[in-house]
Amino acid sequence: MSQSPKSSAPETCAFCKGAGEFDGRRCPACDGRGEVNVAQPAKRCALCNGTGRLCIRGCPACGGTGWTAILRG
């Protein structure tokens, strides 16, 4: 059972630094608002799954899975 957040306050979006867009596109983390609501206690980021990095383009070799098949003859 998870606890309910005690408070929620707007905070500058760390992904787009408050600009509302990155790389000429609308920021997916704040939906172009430039700020996100942060609830206490802190929760893992749903966008980057807590890694702090966002994969814009998947690896062409593994398709973004991180695994490749090794063909042995």
| Residue 1: predicted pLDDT | 45
To the nearest whole percent, how much of the chain has pLDDT over 70?
A: 58
User: Which has more pLDDT, 3 or 42?
Assistant: 42
The domain in which residue 12 lies consists of: 1-73
| Residue 27: predicted pLDDT | 76
**How far apart are alpha carbons 50 and 28 in whole angstroms?**
15
Residue 6's pLDDT band (cuts 50, 70, 90): low
The residue-averaged pLDDT of 45-66 equals: 72
Regarding pTM above 0.85, the answer is: no
The residue-averaged pLDDT of 20-35 equals: 73
* Both structure tokens of 26: 């609308």
Instruction: Please give the tally of structural domains in the chain.
Output: 1
- Nearest Cα residue to 34 out of 45, 20, 44, 23: 20
